[in-house]
A and B are shown apart, each in its own frame.
Chain A
Amino acid sequence: MNIYGMGVLFNRGRGIASYEAALRQGWQKPSEVEAPYGPGGTYPVYQVDLEQIPDRTILKKMRRSDKLSKMAVLAAHDAVDDCGIPDIRQKNVGIIVATGHGAHPTTFEFLDGILDFGEAAASPTVFSNSVHNAAASYIASVLDIHGPTLTVTQFLFSFQAALQLAKVWLEEERCDYVLVGSADLYGEVMGYIGNSMLTTADDGKIRPFHFKPSSHVPGEGSVFFLAGNGPSQSVYCSVADVSVGGDQGDGAPADLIILDADGMLPDETAYLASVSGDIPAASYTPLFGSMMTGSAFTCAAGALMLKNQVLYPNPVVDNPHDVRLLKEKTDAPARAIHCIRYNAHAERAVINLRGAP
């Protein structure tokens, strides 16, 4: 499966150029949000500011939608635009949206309506937008895509499962192309839960190689990939294999291992089993924050590096376990990158990316 186009929306902007710039420039302190309850103060969040999006064309088409849908449509639109495939919208394009938590702030807004105005007076518009597949629906209608449209959730493995299914759909020719990606967002209540269940890095810096104790900084954003099985010219990379859980993929050697360690697990020492002295490791989670579907950002970083033949250094290099880290920008040819995520049961998911032939 080849990746022909990508769209990225995160706290540092919209588009591939913004993401490449972040990979080059390294870590920046995230914004702070005020804690709405409790002892007060602020805490760090990698938030997307849609008001800063200069091109309002897409957003004008979805005034009644919520932030999750807007982020997803922007990223999906950019992936389609980026692919450079003529008449792509006339092809049979499938859509798979992976989300960890869906539009939870919209769900809580609907609950506000019930609590404030009664069961019979809650807003139908808010209810409609709170449904998990609203974002996928907006992608289909705004981009005029009519293929199979699916929204899936598997918490930390949501994106890997979506990518695996995209590969299957293409192999069985259910679609000509698949627009597969992720969308997750920050919300006050989920922030409260995250603070209660996990450790927040007060200085806003995720330290991916600390492993235990881990610390998280909530992030939000959306990444989409336009994937297909056609010619391999003008592609970012190919997805050679996606393995989730038991099946551990093709075992091909890699030039770089990217870990999704982001503090979403209190104990991330399982990642130590996936690093070695032979292959440098990196983690770019400090650039976009902690989220269930952060693996899509990691995959985008891998795809960019394989296309550009540049390996970007770790944005945060605190390294108490003496892992072999990629510390300098490297221009040596890169042929394969493994993107690795663990879940709470110490099960591993691996996305094997290969450079275009």
Chain B
Amino acid sequence: MKGERVLITGCGAVSAAGMNRSETLDVFARGQRNAGPVTLFETALPYPVFEVREIPRAFFLEGQRTLSLALIAADEALGEARLSKDLSSYRVGVCMGTTVASQLNDIEFYRSYRTHGSAPMTAAHRYVNGNIAEHLARAVKARGPSLTVVNACSSGTDAIGVALSWLRSGLCDIALAGGADEMNRIPLCGFGSLGIVNEGLCAPFDRDRQGLNLGEGAGVLVLETAASARRRGNAADLYLAGYGSESDAYHLTAPHPEGVGLRASINRALAESGIAPQDVSFVNAHGTGTIDNDVVEGKVLRDLFGADVTMLSTKGFTGHTLGAAGGLEAVFTAAGLQEGWIPASIGFSTLDEDIGLAPARKKTTITGRYALSTSLAFGGNNAALVVGRDGKA
């Protein structure tokens, strides 16, 4: 139904911080960091990563770890929304962000091709059957629009923004939206080649930050028009209030030094939500722990929200999960509003005077009605989501 509020009726999250939202919140509260060496493939690279502990048998798909992660998070989100896994009686859209699952980057397949001029087609078949939105849509028998967003590190946030547009336009009544990505050797080498991976644990917004850690996971929201939720007798006090996305139009890998795209994205998301910066109770920042990202993002947040803004980065708990990050962080943002607290921005200890902004040093009580989640990406993409809570349900 056009113009109607879009509710968040379900959330699901899987990452190194936990196999579901409840486990994750416990880990957040304890300030526990589940990082370690890479175990999923052989590598000589020395970087610690945030791997998901184990894929439960019910969700295991050989060679398609990203899809498995997406199914785990979707299953939790559907359960919370009190929806079955057969959604054929509803008009449901699926919009998912990813990076790894969109590319045929199987190094053993390619090694065989280079060496022998031929390779088993197993990897190719997995790839052509591995479109994440299509796979998830078929798994839940969704009949609405289906789209995989490949916008690098803002993919998950943008996917949620696309789903918001679909719901507002009437293309569907319910949408599964978020992001998923697995730990993979190619991005590990790629980010390593860029010199932005930390050999220790990441420290977002800290003066002495040394780069990011890679992670894996999936975060999925069930978004639903208020009319659809009413028809199902479902109530939810969380809603997706606004989305903004703007490009820096500046550089392939570096953010614009003034954060023009991020600033515009946040302003657009706030305007769509009909709120002012002072209405935002906290910001879940992209906060990768790289020099460039954190200084640009920090400056923009300080300019827009003031130096006292309550903010954090959850990447100290999950690592940078690339296409999953926006989905996971939307779930964490919603959880912060719903639970009334956010964790310490783990890894941060020393204020960076160039940023002039300190994220939460300890578990912090949240009392407001709105929160913001931001994403910055390769290619100069920037995206922002505003999550609202009306407190009536």
Residues of A within 8 A of B (CB): 36-38, 95, 99, 101-102, 104, 107-108, 110-112, 114-115, 118-124, 127-134, 136-138, 140-141, 143-155, 157, 161, 164-165, 168-169, 171-172, 174, 189-190, 192-193, 196-197, 244-247
**In this assembly, does B250 line the interface, its C-beta being within 8 Å of a C-beta of chain A?**
yes
**In this assembly, does B99 line the interface, its C-beta being within 8 Å of a C-beta of chain A?**
yes
- With contacts A129-B252, A141-B249 known, is A119 near B43, CB below 8 A? yes
30 of the cross-chain contacts (CB-CB < 8 Å) are: A36-B117, A37-B113, A37-B116, A102-B103, A111-B107, A111-B110, A114-B186, A115-B111, A127-B190, A128-B190, A130-B103, A132-B150, A133-B151, A136-B379, A136-B381, A137-B378, A140-B249, A140-B380, A145-B249, A146-B248, A148-B245, A148-B247, A149-B381, A153-B102, A168-B171, A197-B121, A245-B144, A245-B145, A246-B143, A247-B144
**In this assembly, does B208 line the interface, its C-beta being within 8 Å of a C-beta of chain A?**
no
A196 to B124, CA, bound (A): 10
**In this assembly, does B340 line the interface, its C-beta being within 8 Å of a C-beta of chain A?**
no
A184 to B134, CA, bound (A): 20
Measured between beta carbons, the chain A residues less than 8 angstroms from B252 are 128-129, 134, 137-138, 141
Task: Say yes or no: B104 contacts A124, CB within 8 Å.
Answer: no
Contact residues of A: prevailing secondary structure: helix
**In this assembly, does B128 line the interface, its C-beta being within 8 Å of a C-beta of chain A?**
yes
Task: Say yes or no: A119 contacts B185, CB within 8 Å.
Answer: yes
Q: Mark B261-285, 1 if CB is under 8 A from A, else 0.
A: 1001000000000000000000000
CB distance from B38 to the nearest CB of A (A): 11
A152 to B260, CA, bound (A): 23
Measured between beta carbons, the chain A residues less than 8 angstroms from B144 are 245-247
A101 to B190, CA, bound (A): 19
Task: Say yes or no: A150 contacts B158, CB within 8 Å.
Answer: yes
Task: Say yes or no: B193 contacts A168, CB within 8 Å.
Answer: no
**In this assembly, does B152 line the interface, its C-beta being within 8 Å of a C-beta of chain A?**
yes
Q: Interface residue tally of chain B, by bracket? A: 35 or more
Task: Say yes or no: B192 contacts A119, CB within 8 Å.
Answer: yes
A132 to B187, CA, bound (A): 13
Complex partner residue of B113 from A95, A130, A192, CB under 8 angstroms: A192
Q: Mark B100-127, 1 if CB is under 8 A from A, else 0.
A: 0011110100110110111101001000
Chain B, 133-159, CB within 8 A of any chain A CB: 133-134, 143-152, 158
CB distance from A57 to the nearest CB of B (A): 18
A195 to B168, CA, bound (A): 43
Task: Say yes or no: A127 contacts B171, CB within 8 Å.
Answer: no
Task: Say yes or no: A102 contacts B102, CB within 8 Å.
Answer: yes
Task: Say yes or no: B165 contacts A174, CB within 8 Å.
Answer: yes
Task: Say yes or no: B162 contacts A124, CB within 8 Å.
Answer: no
A141 to B256, CA, bound (A): 11
Q: Which residue of A lies closest to B264 (CB)?
A: A146
Q: Using A115-B114, A122-B189 as known contacts, list a sample of 4 further A-B pairs with CB atoms less than 8 Å apart, ordered by residue number in A.
A: A114-B186, A120-B192, A155-B134, A161-B146
- With contacts A161-B147, A168-B171 known, is A104 near B380, CB below 8 A? no
Q: Which residue of B lies closest to A123 (CB)?
A: B193
CB distance from B331 to the nearest CB of A (A): 21
A102 to B148, CA, bound (A): 13
- With contacts A37-B117, A133-B378, A138-B252 known, is A150 near B162, CB below 8 A? yes
Complex partner residue of A189 from B113, B148, B253, B261, CB under 8 angstroms: B113
A129 to B252, CA, bound (A): 8
Complex partner residue of B247 from A146, A154, A165, A169, CB under 8 angstroms: A146
CB distance from A73 to the nearest CB of B (A): 12
Measured between beta carbons, the chain B residues less than 8 angstroms from A189 are 104, 110, 113
- With contacts A115-B107, A127-B190 known, is A141 near B117, CB below 8 A? no
Measured between beta carbons, the chain A residues less than 8 angstroms from B260 are 146
Measured between beta carbons, the chain B residues less than 8 angstroms from A120 are 44-45, 189, 192-193
- With contacts A144-B249, A245-B146 known, is A104 near B103, CB below 8 A? yes
CB distance from A81 to the nearest CB of B (A): 17
Task: Say yes or no: B147 contacts A154, CB within 8 Å.
Answer: yes
Measured between beta carbons, the chain B residues less than 8 angstroms from A165 are 147, 162, 165
CB distance from B196 to the nearest CB of A (A): 9
A96 to B186, CA, bound (A): 26
Task: Say yes or no: A124 contacts B146, CB within 8 Å.
Answer: no
A36 to B113, CA, bound (A): 11
Measured between beta carbons, the chain A residues less than 8 angstroms from B151 are 132-133, 136, 149-151
**In this assembly, does B246 line the interface, its C-beta being within 8 Å of a C-beta of chain A?**
yes
**In this assembly, does B251 line the interface, its C-beta being within 8 Å of a C-beta of chain A?**
yes
**In this assembly, does B365 line the interface, its C-beta being within 8 Å of a C-beta of chain A?**
no
Task: Say yes or no: B104 contacts A104, CB within 8 Å.
Answer: yes
Task: Say yes or no: A152 contacts B117, CB within 8 Å.
Answer: no
Identify which of A120, A130, A152, A172 gathers the most chain B CB atoms within 10 Å of its CB. Answer: A152
**In this assembly, does B349 line the interface, its C-beta being within 8 Å of a C-beta of chain A?**
no
**In this assembly, does B36 line the interface, its C-beta being within 8 Å of a C-beta of chain A?**
no
A197 to B158, CA, bound (A): 33
Chain B, 27-84, CB within 8 A of any chain A CB: 43-45
Measured between beta carbons, the chain B residues less than 8 angstroms from A128 are 190, 194, 252-253, 378
CB distance from B81 to the nearest CB of A (A): 21
A101 to B127, CA, bound (A): 10
Sorted nearest first, the 9 A-B pairs with minimum C-beta distance are A37-B117, A137-B379, A127-B190, A132-B150, A148-B245, A149-B247, A140-B249, A124-B193, A246-B143
A232 to B334, CA, bound (A): 43
CB distance from A318 to the nearest CB of B (A): 27
A114 to B378, CA, bound (A): 21
Q: Which residue of B lies closest to A103 (CB)?
A: B103
Task: Say yes or no: A168 contacts B169, CB within 8 Å.
Answer: yes
- With contacts A140-B380, A193-B121 known, is A169 near B165, CB below 8 A? yes
Measured between beta carbons, the chain A residues less than 8 angstroms from B246 are 146-148
A91 to B211, CA, bound (A): 37
CB distance from B160 to the nearest CB of A (A): 12
Q: Which residue of B lies closest to A165 (CB)?
A: B162
- With contacts A110-B186, A172-B168 known, is A149 near B379, CB below 8 A? yes
A8 to B149, CA, bound (A): 24
CB distance from A188 to the nearest CB of B (A): 9
- With contacts A132-B102, A168-B171, A246-B143 known, is A38 near B165, CB below 8 A? no
Identify which of B116, B162, B188 gathers the most chain A CB atoms within 10 Å of its CB. Answer: B162
Task: Say yes or no: B245 contacts A119, CB within 8 Å.
Answer: no
Measured between beta carbons, the chain A residues less than 8 angstroms from B113 are 37, 189, 192
Task: Say yes or no: A133 contacts B379, CB within 8 Å.
Answer: yes
Measured between beta carbons, the chain A residues less than 8 angstroms from B116 are 37
Measured between beta carbons, the chain B residues less than 8 angstroms from A174 are 165
